[in-house]
Amino acid sequence: TRAKLGFDKPLHEQYFSYVVGLATLDLGNSLRSRTPAFELVMERMPATLELTIFAILFATLLAIPIGILSATRRGTPLDGGIMLFAMFGQSMPSFWLGIMLILVVGLWLRWLPISGQVPIIQPLLDGDFQTAITNFPDAIRHLILPGITLGVFSLARNARLVRSSMLEVLNQDYVTTAKAKGLARHTVIMRHAFRNSLIPFVTIIGLEFGFLLSGVVVTETVFSWPGVGRLVFNAINQRDIPVVQAAVVMFSLLFVLLNLIVDVVYTRLDPRIRLS
């Protein structure tokens, strides 16, 4: 095994081989299946992307209205209830939440499936659009429980971020001027305050993707989701180092790519950034 991994070579040769393999996306074969490590990761990546995208959409689409509602009802019992939910959401371990959802929603109520995956992205990549459309309803049912488990922490944190950002923007002079002109409250909030409050939120979305990718290891293991997270969990238990390395590199590349996209979106939201 040492010879196959190159551990019997001098350190400078090991490092050079690693850099060359990294540049060519070739970190060797799995010690268990003898399959190229990156090939194993790419086979599982569509399932992980489905789960991560669902969790981001779940957290984002709920956090924005909840945060705005909390900011515009500051000091009311509703605001207090939302902040209490956010506190519990950020302090709740994801594996515990996943197990509770499996017990209550999956086993007791039998509303949703508790394991497995129905693919959407892979048929789209293969050009089989009919299968993707056919799979969509059942795929969403399989995504709900693991998606909620993965996204609750992000939902709670993002709701607090939107609230604090909205409160800061609502105290700006241009918002006060808009109110003084007699504009409707809804217009002031959505047209003048909401867009400017999104700027710090967009920054967090880029970081959020990296956080969710790190969380898929636990979530995919709890729900037997056939993604990269579960692959990494099994590889760690089996000491399959090339697979773990390939997964870490792939997650890093995705994280960098998404942050580049966030920078582009930034310029659309704030013209001052585009001009500078």
User: Is the confidence at residue 203, as pLDDT, over 80?
Assistant: no
Does 212 map to a domain? yes
Look up the domain containing 48 and give its range: 28-275
- Helices 194-222 and 129-170, packing angle to 10 deg: 130
How confident is residue 64, by pLDDT bands cut at 50, 70 and 90? confident
Q: What is the pLDDT of residues 9-60, one digit of tens each?
A: 888 877 888 788 777 877 778 878 888 888 888 888 888 888 988 998 998 8
The number of domains in the chain is 1
pTM given for the model: 0.82
Among 163, 229, 253, 239, smallest CA distance to 201 is for 163
Does 240 map to a domain? yes
Does 18 map to a domain? no
In this prediction, residues 65-90 reach a mean pLDDT of 86
CA angle 93, 98, 101 (to 5 degrees): 125
Does 6 map to a domain? no
Does 47 map to a domain? yes
Rounded Cα distance between 210 and 254, Å, is 8
Does 155 map to a domain? yes
Rounded Cα distance between 257 and 210, Å, is 11
Question: What CATH number did the domain enclosing 164 receive?
Answer: 1.10.3720.10
